[in-house]
Amino acid sequence: MGSSSRSGGLTIRDVGMVYRRRDQVTTALTGCTLDIPEGGWASLIGASGCGKSTLLRILADIVKPTSGVALVGGVSPAEARSARTFALVSQQSTMLPWRKILANVELGLEVAGVDKAARRRSAEEAIELVGLKGFEQAFPSELSGGMRQRAAIARALTLKPRFLLMDEPFGALDEITREKLNFELLRILKETSATLLLVTHSISEAIILSDTVAVMSPRPGRISHRVEIGFGHDRTNAMRDDPAFGAYEAELRHALHGPASSARPASHPIPAFAIH
């Protein structure tokens, strides 16, 4: 895939990550391979410390892998970051408390040097998209945690990213708010056609927001199992009542807690360069 490609998705091939601190060596990741097609949705789940966030940080150009190749849209994470083709949303909806929501949402474009009129238009569009229209002049302290997280997503969307990298974005929220935002995010993904890679500890959230759920083994982390979610992209809350939803939950729970050897029957081989 050429560096000028505009059709690539997210690719991790045989990625390893080793941390060295003085005489201590920690292997965080080993042999991780994952492909997410452009416009696709995928989640990483696994026990704390298995390397889920490390994989996301590699794609976000925060850390460099020790081995292997990572591509975002066919180019390196560093090139993708320079081109602003991805946005990263984390669990903490960091808002500057002295700036109103509109000004907070504009911040990314302001740092990028976009002129005031253009960034104002983009911020207003993003605020409307996440359902915060009417709260532009509120301060972060005047909003609930869920609303602040919507604002953080709006700030990411002002960059019009082709790829959304999300690290436990709803992890600090109560279950009712979290589920509501899951379906709000589905709507946003459909409207923007963005590719999603989500790190989560929630099995149900992974099913709701994914075409593919990849299960990571304990450290050293590797992608040991995958479940393809067959609900398509037209999803509603009724999917939770579908018997298939419960079957996916059971399969993922078994993959997380059961013997690795029984994670997937031999009749379903994992193809080369797919999640494994």
Q: pLDDT tens across 224-238, in order?
A: 999 999 999 999 999
- Looking at residue 80, what is its pLDDT? 95
Model-level pTM?
0.85
Torsion 100-102-105-110 (CA) sign: negative
270: DSSP letter? P
Task: Tell me the per-residue pLDDT of 161-178, one tens digit each, with 9 for 90 and over.
Answer: 999 999 998 887 888 888
Q: What share of the chain is helix, strand, coil (3-state, %, to 5)?
A: 35, 25, 40
- Looking at residue 203, what is its pLDDT? 95
Q: Contact at 8 Å (CB) between 202 and 46?
A: no
Output the average pLDDT for the chain: 87
240: DSSP letter? G
Residues in a beta bridge with 17: 29
Q: Would the pLDDT of 266 be above 60? A: no
Cα separation, 236 vs 82, whole angstroms = 36
Q: How far is CA 262 from the centre of its chain?
A: 27
